[in-house]
């Protein structure tokens, strides 16, 4: 007695046929995935462009809003008084009185200012190759009222905002990164603080207008104070 004959050739043909179809389906689906991936990339790039454009527009809006009138007036009064106090043809009493007034006005502007135009540099957590000795804190400085802040506690790196309790990024405030020495130059010297008031508000607004959307600002040399 022999085993019943099976139609193996037919079964083989059927499986070959089915595998061929499955392969074609896979190729078709891969093609769809490729197309979809391309579309997603295009959407991601559009989104990135829109995000950047939005950033530019948002910063331009802050520049256009400028400063509230009271702050802008107070700022130019401070600038005038600093100039006046540095004159040689005034008496010591006049100079001291101007300096006392300046202290009060300075405190006042710092209290009222919303710190819309800020420059600074991020902290660095240090590199392993240097045993983290090269770690340093970040610092920020308001160009309107000269309020400065160093990050405290944890280091604020490029991607984090830790440690800045006042000058953190927020709507209505532009924070631009610039050379560390520039910020330190302004922050270290008392004269450096007053230097900020010597920079005309229009100059600051123009600079932020020109650099809208950029994280970094090349600080103009003529507006710098060197750190001691
Ligand atoms: Zn301020």
> What's the average pLDDT block by block, 10 residues per block, for the chain (228 residues)?
80 96 98 97 98 97 96 95 89 91 91 95 84 84 91 72 85 94 73 76 94 91 63
Question: 118 lies in which domain range?
Answer: 66-223
Instruction: Report the separation in Å between the CA atom of 89 and the middle of ligand 1, taken as the mean of its atom positions.
Output: 32
pLDDT tens digit string along 25-73? 999 999 999 999 999 999 999 999 999 999 999 999 999 999 999 999 9
Instruction: Report the separation in Å between the CA atom of 39 and the middle of ligand 1, taken as the mean of its atom positions.
Output: 45
Residues 27 and 76 in one domain: no
Handedness of CA 139, 193, 115, 58 (dihedral sign): negative
Residues 116 and 197 in one domain: yes
Q: Which residues surround ligand 1, an ion (CB under 5 A)?
A: 113, 115, 142, 144-145, 147
Structure tokens at 57: 């527009």
Residue 1 placed within a domain = no
**How many independent structural domains does the chain possess?**
2
Contact indicator for 122, 80 with CB cutoff of 8 Å:
no
What stretch of H or E contains 220?
A: none
């Amino acid at each position: 007695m022999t085993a019943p004959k099976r139609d193996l050739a037919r079964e083989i043909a059927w499986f070959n046929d089915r595998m061929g179809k499955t392969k074609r389906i896979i190729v078709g689906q891969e093609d769809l995935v490729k197309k979809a991936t391309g579309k997603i990339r295009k959407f991601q790039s559009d989104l990135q462009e829109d995000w950047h454009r939005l950033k530019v527009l948002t910063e331009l809006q802050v520049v256009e809003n400028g400063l509230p009138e009271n702050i802008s007036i107070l700022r130019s009064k401070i600038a005038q008084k600093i100039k006046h106090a540095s004159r040689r043809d005034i008496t010591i009493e006049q100079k001291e009185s101007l300096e006392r007034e300046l202290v009060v006005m300075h405190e006042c502007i710092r209290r009222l200012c919303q710190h819309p135009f800020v420059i600074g540099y991020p902290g660095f957590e240090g590199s392993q190759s240097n045993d983290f000795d090269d770690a340093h804190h970040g610092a920020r400085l308001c160009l309107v009222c000269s309020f400065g802040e160093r990050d405290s506690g944890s280091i604020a790196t490029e991607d984090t905002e830790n440690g800045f309790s006042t000058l953190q990024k927020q709507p209505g405030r532009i924070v631009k990164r610039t050379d560390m020495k520039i910020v330190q130059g302004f922050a270290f010297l008392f004269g450096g603080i007053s230097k900020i008031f010597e920079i005309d508000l229009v100059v600051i607004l123009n600079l932020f207008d020109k650099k809208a959307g950029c994280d970094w600002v090349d600080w103009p040399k003529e507006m710098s104070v060197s750190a001691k």
